[in-house]
Amino acid sequence: MIRRFAASLSLALGLSTLPLLAAAHEFYIDALAWEVPSNSQLIANLRVGEDFEGPAYSYFPPRIQRFDILMGDNTYPVEGRAGDRPALRMATPENGLAVVVHVTNDTTLTYSDWELFQRFVTHKDWAGLIADHQARGLPETGFRENYSRYGKALIAVGDGAGADREAGLQTEIVALANPYTDDLSDGLPVRVLYQGAPRGDAQVELFAKSPEGEVTVSLLRTDAEGVAVLPVSPGHVYLADAVVVRPLEPATAEDPVWESLWASLTFKVPE
């Protein structure tokens, strides 16, 4: 009990430092095994980091808005205990493609460095917000931002048959092919959504980790239908990331003036 409480406290303290790093770090679901037998277990870590390097965080209910496994038309809530790490460890509910969905509660950060905000919005393809910020008469330091994370991961159970589907998230990336069963010689198409609608001409950042552990990063764009085709290779693990940044109207000087919504999708292409 003491050890579990200490783990939860460590998570809370660790997450409290994440706002300082939010401009550069991705949240993602990292499966210990991307293909598992039927009647086994789904096990995955929740990570925040760069280039597939980042600490694993425990199951911590105050930070979780939603944590589900989608398989076909069924939804299976993930139930854990505070301090569990990996955060996901549950029996496989059925055979097929498991879509893991994790949504965080809002977190607020305060910018003490104007250049950090500029680097963040530029890197995530929202550079026009720099001029918007100035036009709104907002200060260069001391302003606040809300952010939340919308992670999905695809794990094959048994034959891995099935399809990803919209999970009804504020923003999400939906795979339009199954990486474990479909022909990906022309790439894996995905659709980027915001409030259920396709995000046309949106940036998708793709991290690819080879079997040897080498990580490469590429930037892609969606078409008018919100679709981008991810170039993929056998044996690689992938993290696709897309971010929405939108203005907030503060009621007081302490309220956030921006909000960022981070969508991610992780999966592996079998060898």
Q: Which tokens go with 54?
A: 């980042």
Pair of tokens at residue 42: 């789904």
Q: Domain residues of the chain, as ranges?
A: 2-268
Amino acid at 162: G
Cα–Cα distance for residue pair 56/86, rounded to 1 Å: 7
Quote the tokens at residue 134.
């100035």
Query: CA-CA distance, 42 to 32, in Å (whole number)?
Result: 8
- Is the pTM higher than 0.85? yes
The answer, yes or no, to whether the previous bond of 86 is cis (omega within 30 of 0) is yes
Handedness of CA 166, 74, 205, 210 (dihedral sign): negative
What is the average per-residue pLDDT within 130-159? 97
Residue type, 117: F
Interval 86-113 mean pLDDT: 97
CA distance 220 to 192: 12
Q: For residues 111-138, give the mean pLDDT.
A: 97
Residue 12: the pLDDT is 40
Q: pLDDT tens-digit profile of 18-70? A: 444 444 589 999 999 999 999 999 999 999 998 898 899 999 999 999 999 99
Q: Which of 42-46, 78-82, 122-126, 232-236 has the lowest mean pLDDT?
A: 78-82
